[in-house]
């Protein structure tokens, strides 16, 4: 199957700093990528939809200025957590679909963010 790679797999940062997480589709082009957040023992919650070449669409309750999303190419989307605080500590997961309306979503391996 298609591969979606996230980097880094885990990161620890100090409170008040910013952290960037990359999501790459390695062997296909993805017009649309999605960013999810998952707290321990909970389900995935969609944060935003990232569209190549346009602004991301955020779900209700997600702060746009805090979670900056950039989809600069058909294979790369980035999520930047700005001015991170301990409550932002979570597991962040991206997913991507092949351009052309294919149904299956491929997920990255996730990024564990810990803010201290």
Partner 1 sequence: QQQVKQSPQSLIVQKGGISIINCAYENTAFDYFPWYQQFPGKGPALLIAIRPDVSEKKEGRFTISFNKSAKQFSLHIMDSQPGDSATYFCAAESTGDYKLSFGAGTTVTVRA
Site for partner 1 contains 50 (CB under 8 A)? no
Tally the residues of the chain.
116
Residue 75: name the closest of 31, 11, 19, 114 by CA: 31
Site for partner 1 contains 11 (CB under 8 A)? no
CA distance linking residue 62 with residue 68, whole number of Å:
10
Site for partner 1 contains 8 (CB under 8 A)? no
Task: Rule CB under 8 A: choose which of 65, 86, 103, 116 binds partner 1.
Answer: 103
Residue 75: name the closest of 113, 108, 110, 112 by CA: 108
Site for partner 1 contains 105 (CB under 8 A)? yes
Region from 13-21, 63-71, 79-87, 89-97 binding partner 1, contact rule CB under 8 A: 89-97
Cα end-to-end distance, the chain, whole Å: 36
Interacting residues toward partner 1 by CB under 8 A: 1, 4, 6, 32, 34, 41-46, 49, 91, 93, 95, 97, 103-110, 112
């Amino acid at each position: 199957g298609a591969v979606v790679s996230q980097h880094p797999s885990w990161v620890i940062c100090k409170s008040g700093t910013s952290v960037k997480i990359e999501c790459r589709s390695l062997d296909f082009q993805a017009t649309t990528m999605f960013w999810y957040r998952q707290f321990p023992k909970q389900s995935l919650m969609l944060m935003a939809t990232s569209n190549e070449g346009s602004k991301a669409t955020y779900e209700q309750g997600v702060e746009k200025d805090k979670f900056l999303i950039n989809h600069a190419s058909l294979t790369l989307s980035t999520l930047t957590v700005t001015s991170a605080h301990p409550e932002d500590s979570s597991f962040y997961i991206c997913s991507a679909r092949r351009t052309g309306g294919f149904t299956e979503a491929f997920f990255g391996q996730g990024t564990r963010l810990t803010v201290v």
